[in-house]
Chains A and B, each alone.
Chain A
Amino acid sequence: MSEARSTVFVVDDDEAVCRALTRLICSAGYCVESFESAHEFLETCPHLEGCACLVLDIGLPDINGLELQNELIALNRSLPIIFITGRGDIAMTVKAMKAGATDFLAKPVRDSELLSAIANALRVSSQALSSRIELDCIHRRMARLTPREREVLALLVEGRLNKQVASELGVAEKTIKVHRARVMEKMEAHSLIDLVRVTDKVCISPSPGQSS
C-alpha cells in the first residue's frame, strides 16, 4: 500500500483541536478523516479498507480512548493507534501500549513528533495489511486441500520422509508421492522449504487427530 492511499483517522471531541490536527496531518499529504466521538468512529469502522492509523484522544466524553482501543480489538478491526492526551499518566500509558498502541503523545504535540508517529503507524499498518493479505492467501490455498492432503502436509513440514509418512498413515509410499505433489501444487510451493515457510506463517501443523 502506498502512503498516498493510506488514511489517518482523527478522533477528538474538541472541535478546534480536531480541526487543527486534521489540517496538520493533511499538510503532510495524508488523507484524513476526523470524528468528534468514539461512537461516530465505530460506526464508520467496519467499512475500513486499506492502510490506516488512528490518532485518538484519550479523554472522550462517550467512550474513552482506551475503551475504544479494546472495543476495536474485540471487533477484530484493530489498527495502529497513536494516543494523544493532555494528561496522561504512567498507568494509562502502560495500559495503552500493552494493548498495542504504537505511540503515546502529550498535548500539545509537535508536528515532527506526530508526523513521524503517523509514518511509523502507517508502516505497521501496511506491514500488517500485507501479512494479512498473505495469510488470507495461504488460508485460501489450504482450504483447497483434502483432509488426507492436510495430514500429509502436517507430516511433511515436520521433516518426515515419504516413507515415514506412508508408514505413519498406513498407505503405500507411491500414494504419498501423489499426495505430496498435489499439496505442493495447491500450496503453490516450489520446494519443501518453501512449503515449510508458508505453512509456518499460518502456524498450522495439524496433528493427525485434528485432520480426521
Chain B
Amino acid sequence: MTTLSAVAVSALVVLLIFIKIRRMQTSEPTIGLPIDGEWSRRRHNNYAFAVSDKAAGMERAGDALQDQTNIRRSAGFRPPKLSARHFVHTHLAILPRGRFRRTSLENELQPSHVKSRTEPDDDSWTAARQSRQIERFGATLDLLPLTILVANSQEKTLFANTAAEKLFGYSREELSGVPVGKLVPALHLNVSAADSACSNMALGGREPDGHRELVARRRDGTEFPAEVTTNPVSWENEACTLTIVIDRTERYELLRNRQQLAHLTRVSTLGELTGSLAHELNQPLTAILSNAQAAQRFLATEPVNLAEVREILHDLVEDNHRASEVIRKIRALVKKGELEAMPLSIASVIRDVTLLVRSDAIVRGIRMCVAVTPDLPPVHGDKVQLQQVVLNLLLNAFDALESCAALNREVAIEVTPEGGDRIRVAVRDGGTGLAGNTLDKLFSPFFTSKRDGLGLGLSISRSIVEMHGGWIWAQNNEDRGATFYFTLPTGATPERSFQRGRP
C-alpha cells in the first residue's frame, strides 16, 4: 500500500512540476482554475463573436480573461489540499476540462493564433485544438505509473494509458472501446452522477470518492485484487469517468502471508499443547466409558435401578457434548479461515482458552485465577485471533513460572473496563520478570528469550491486537514477575482497519 502510494505521489509531483513549468512559461497564472459550464459557453460565444468582429473579439477575449479571474475569486477558489489523492482528483480531473489551459495555450500561440482567427473554419480549429490537448493530456497520463482508464457514459473505454496496457495485457488499440466491465467486472460507473459531482469538484470543494476494492481481470483471464478509484472528468466535451486501477496483489499476498503466519504459530502452539489437549479429550471419554459400563452393570441386576440408569444417560450426553466442545475449540483454532469480526464476550474468549490449557497448568503445577468484571460490553473482533493472543500470553506466563517455587506458580487473568469505551486484559505471572533491556524489544519479530522460541508469538499478538484497534504492552510487577496488558475497544463499530485487514 505504502510503496504504491509513494510511487503515485511522486508521479503526481512530477506531473505538477511539469504543469508548473508550463505555467511559468505562460504569462497568466492559470492552472487549476475551476471553470464551470457557464463560463465555457461564454468563451464559445467569444469565438463566435471573434469571427464577425475581429477587433471587438480581441477585446472580448481580454474581458473574458478578466472575467475568468473574477470568477476564480468570486468562486472562493481554494488551493487544493496537500493530499496526494486530492491532487489526483482535482488536477487530473480538471485538466481535460481545463478550458483555462486552453486560454493559456491561446496566449502562448497568440501571434499566429490571431491570424488563424481569420480562417473561416472555426469548428475544425477548435476540434484540432481539443484533440491536440487530449493528446497532450494522454501523453501525460502515459507517464504515470498508475493504471488509468477513461470511459464514457456507455462504460466504453476511450483512453487507456501505458500502465493499463501493461496491467491488463491488452494493446492500446484493443482497449479502445472495450467495456470497462470486461476489465473490472464489478465496476459500475455512474457517469451522470459523476458529472453532477464534477462541477462541485471543480470548485475544489469535493472530497475524493472512497476507493473500492474489486477484482480485475487480465486479458488471459487471470484475476487480481485491485483498488479502484473513479472520478468524473470531461473528455472531448463528454462527461466521462477516469478510473485509476491499482494492482493490490502484493498487498493481498502480504496480508495472506500474515494470516498464514498467525495460523502457523497457532498450530505450532497447539502442537506444544497436544498432551494437554489429549487429556482434555480423555477425561470425557473416561467418564463416558465408565458411565456406560456402570449402566450395563446396573441393567444386569434385578430389579433394575432405572433412576440411576436415567442419570447415567444424562451424564453420557453431557460428557459427549464436552468432548465435542473440546474438538470444536481445537478445530476452530487450527482452521484456516478468513477473519470474522463479530461482537464477542471477552470472558468467553478467555474461558475457551483456559479450558484448553487447564491440564497443561495442572501438569506444570500452576494455578490459574480468572477475574472478569461482570457485565462488560462486548468487543468487536475475530474470536480465533483474540483467543490466539490470550493463549500466547498464558503460555508465556506458564513458561515464566518454570523455575519458580511451587507456591508462587500462579497466573492471574483480569479483565477490567478502561476509560469507558475499552476493556483491558491483564495476564500477570509471578515469575522472574522481564530484563530491563528486553522490554522494548519484546514485541519485535524474532525476539525471544526462550531456548526454543521462534520469537513470533508476541509480534503476532501485537499485530492482532492493533488490528482490533487496541494496544498491547508489558511491564514488570512491583513485587515479582511481569504483567502483559492489552486493551480492546468495546462497542459494535467495526474498525475500518480491521475490515481492510491492515497488517
Q: How large is the interface on A (under 10, 10 to 19, 20 to 34, 35 or more residues)?
A: 20 to 34
Do B286 and A27 touch across chains, with their CB atoms under 8 A apart? no
Interface-located stretch among B200-208, B274-282, B324-332, B438-446: B274-282
- Complex: A59 Cα to B296 Cα, angstroms: 28
A125 to B301, CA, bound (A): 27
Of chain B, the residue at the smallest CB distance from A14 is B283
Contact flag A108-B286 (CB < 8 Å), given A24-B293, A26-B294: yes
**A108 adjacent to B290 (CB under 8 Å):** yes
Q: Mark A14-40, 1 if CB is under 8 A from B, else 0.
A: 101101110110111000000000000
B251 interface residue per 8 A CB criterion: no
In A69-114, the 8 Å CB interface with B consists of 84, 86-87, 107-111, 114
Give the Cβ gap from A3 to chain B, nearest Cβ, in Å.
Answer: 16
Q: A16-B283, A59-B279, A108-B285 are in contact. Are A21 and B290 (CB under 8 A)?
A: yes
* Residue contact B297 to A107, C-beta cutoff 8 Å: no
Contact of A16 among B275, B294, B298, B319 (CB under 8 A): B319
B308 contacts the other chain (Cβ, under 8 Å)? yes
Asked whether, in the complex, the Cβ of A110 is within 8 Å of the Cβ of B293, the reply is yes
List chain A residues, Cβ under 8 A from B363: 59, 87
From the candidates A14, A23, A28, A107, name the one contacting B291 in the complex (CB within 8 A).
Answer: A23
Question: Does B362 lie within 8 Å of A61, measured CB to CB?
Answer: yes
> Roughly how many angstroms separate A62 CA and B284 CA in the complex, as a whole number?
21
| CB neighbours of A14 from chain B (8 A) | 283, 287
Q: Which residue of A lies closest to B319 (CB)?
A: A16
Structural contact, B322 and A20, CB atoms closer than 8 A: no
User: Within 8 Å of chain B (Cβ to Cβ): is A68?
Assistant: no
- Cβ of A16 and Cβ of B318 under 8 Å apart? yes
Least CB distance from A141 to B in Å reads 45
Give the residue of A60, A108, A114 whose beta carbon is less than 8 angstroms from that of B282.
A108
Contact B315 A86 (CB under 8 A): no
Contact of B294 among A17, A64, A108, A111 (CB under 8 A): A111
Q: Is B43 an interface residue (CB 8 A)?
A: no
Complex-state Cα separation, A13 to B294, whole angstroms: 20
> How distant is the Cα of A115 from the Cα of B345 in the complex, in angstroms?
45
How close is B302's CB to chain A, nearest CB, in angstroms?
13
A contact residues around B288 at 8 Å (CB): 20, 108
B294 touches A20 (CB 8 A): yes
Query: B102 an interface residue at 8 Å Cβ cutoff?
Result: no
- List of B residues within 8 angstroms of A111 by Cβ: 290, 293-294, 296-297
User: Within 8 Å CB of B284, what residues of A?
Assistant: 16
CB < 8 Å neighbour of A17 from B290, B301, B362: B290
- Can you name the residue of chain A whose Cβ is closest to the Cβ of B281? A86
| Contact indicator A59/B359 (Cβ below 8 Å) | yes
In the complex, which of the residues B282, B287, B293 contacts A19, with contact meaning CB atoms closer than 8 Å? B287
Q: Is B23 an interface residue (CB 8 A)?
A: no
Q: Which of B283, B298, B318, B359 contacts A27 (CB 8 A)?
A: B298
Given the complex, which residues of A lie within 8 Å of B294, measured CB to CB?
A: 20, 23-24, 26-27, 111
Known contacts being A27-B294, A87-B278, is A20 close to B286, with CB within 8 Å?
yes
Residue from A24, A61, A107, A109 whose CB has the most chain B CB atoms within 10 Å: A24
B105 at the interface (CB under 8 A from A): no
Task: Tell me if B312 counts as interface (CB < 8 A to partner A).
Answer: yes
* Chain B proximity of A39: nearest CB distance (Å): 13
Is A86 within 8 A of B308, CB to CB? no
B367 interface residue (CB < 8 Å to A): yes
Which residues of the partner chain B approach A60 to less than 8 Å between Cβ atoms? 362
Residue from the list B289, B297, B308, B359 in contact with A28, Cβ < 8 A: B297
Q: Which residue of A lies closest to B366 (CB)?
A: A61
Contact A59 B362 (CB under 8 A): yes
In contact, B275 and A87 (Cβ under 8 angstroms):
yes
Q: Are B278 and A16 in contact (CB under 8 A)?
A: no
Q: B365 in the interface, Cβ–Cβ < 8 Å?
A: yes
How far apart are A110's CB and chain B's nearest CB, in angstroms? Answer: 7
Shortest distance between the CB of A25 and any CB in chain B (Å):
8
Contact: B308 with A107, CB < 8 Å? no
Q: Is the CB of B297 within 8 A of A24?
A: yes
B298: A residues at CB distance < 8 A: 27
- CB pair B289–A23 under 8 Å, yes or no, is no
The CA of A14 and the CA of B286, in the complex, are separated in Å by 10
- Using Cβ atoms and an 8 Å threshold, which residues of chain A touch B296? 111
- In whole angstroms, what is the CA distance A209 to B301 when docked? 64
CB-defined contacts of B365 to chain A, threshold 8 Å? 64
Q: Which residues of A contact B290 (CB under 8 A)?
A: 17, 20-21, 23-24, 108-109, 111, 114
Which residues of A are in contact with B by a Cβ distance under 8 Å? 13-14, 16-17, 19-21, 23-24, 26-28, 59-61, 64, 84, 86-87, 107-111, 114
If A20-B289, A21-B286 are given as contacts, then 13 extra A-B residue pairs at C-beta distance below 8 Å, sorted by A number, are: A17-B286, A19-B315, A20-B288, A24-B291, A24-B293, A27-B297, A59-B279, A61-B367, A107-B283, A108-B286, A109-B289, A110-B293, A111-B297
The 3 closest A-B pairs by CB, nearest first: A20-B290, A27-B297, A111-B293
A-B contact pairs, 5 of them (CB 8 A): A20-B291, A23-B291, A23-B308, A109-B289, A111-B290
